[in-house]
């Protein structure tokens, strides 16, 4: 199972794209500093991103299903970029079970839940290169 396969099954394309672009920017910015250790990059990425998305997770007028999808998306994207936050991962694992219990997503999501959990629990592979800047075309510059 790949990260994008999980994200596609969440049926929240706009949310996933916003989170992905934000994480790519944070990671790229933190990796620009020469000589930074992985731990320093992690400290520069995880807290601000979690703080940014906490507003959605703490909102009272947002449904439980949306919050659960957000938890899974956030944990998956952190893993994709080579990071893992224990609290976020634990919340995502519980969210997978809750999404299945409430039959919010597809049968394919339910069938592949063990693989999804296995990926989220596994150690992420650290990035070796900075992520590409979101919203830019390599050959023609910024996308308008």
Residue 137 lies in a domain: no
Tokens representing 101? 């219990």
Categorize the per-residue pLDDT at 144 as very low, low, confident or very high, splitting at 50, 70 and 90: very low
Residue 24 lies in a domain: yes
Categorize the per-residue pLDDT at 47 as very low, low, confident or very high, splitting at 50, 70 and 90: very high
Tokens representing 70? 């957000």
Q: Which domain holds residue 89?
A: 3-123
- Kindly give the pairing relationship between strand 141-142 and strand 136-137: antiparallel
Residue 130 lies in a domain: no
Categorize the per-residue pLDDT at 60 as very low, low, confident or very high, splitting at 50, 70 and 90: confident
Examine the pLDDT at 135 and tell me if it is beyond 80: no
Residue 89 lies in a domain: yes
Please report the sign of the dihedral spanned by the C-alpha atoms of residue 14, residue 76, residue 63, residue 22: negative
Tally of domains within the chain:
1
DSSP classification of residue 126: P
Summarised one tens digit per residue, pLDDT across range 78-116 is: 999 999 999 999 999 999 999 999 888 888 899 999 999
Residue 105 lies in a domain: yes
């Amino acid at each position: 199972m790949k990260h994008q396969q999980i994200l596609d099954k969440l049926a929240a394309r706009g949310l996933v794209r916003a989170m992905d672009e934000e994480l790519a920017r944070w990671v790229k910015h933190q990796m620009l500093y020469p000589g930074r250790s992985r731990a320093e990059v992690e400290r520069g990425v995880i807290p601000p991103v979690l703080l940014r998305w906490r507003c959605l997770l703490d909102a009272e007028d947002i449904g439980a299903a949306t919050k659960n999808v957000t938890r899974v998306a956030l944990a998956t994207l952190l893993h994709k970029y080579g990071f893992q936050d224990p609290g976020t991962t634990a919340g995502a694992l519980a969210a997978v079970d809750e999404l299945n219990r409430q039959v919010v997503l597809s049968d394919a999501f339910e069938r592949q839940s063990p693989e999804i959990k296995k990926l989220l629990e596994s150690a992420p592979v650290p990035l070796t290169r900075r992520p590409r800047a979101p919203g830019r075309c390599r050959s023609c510059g910024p996308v308008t």
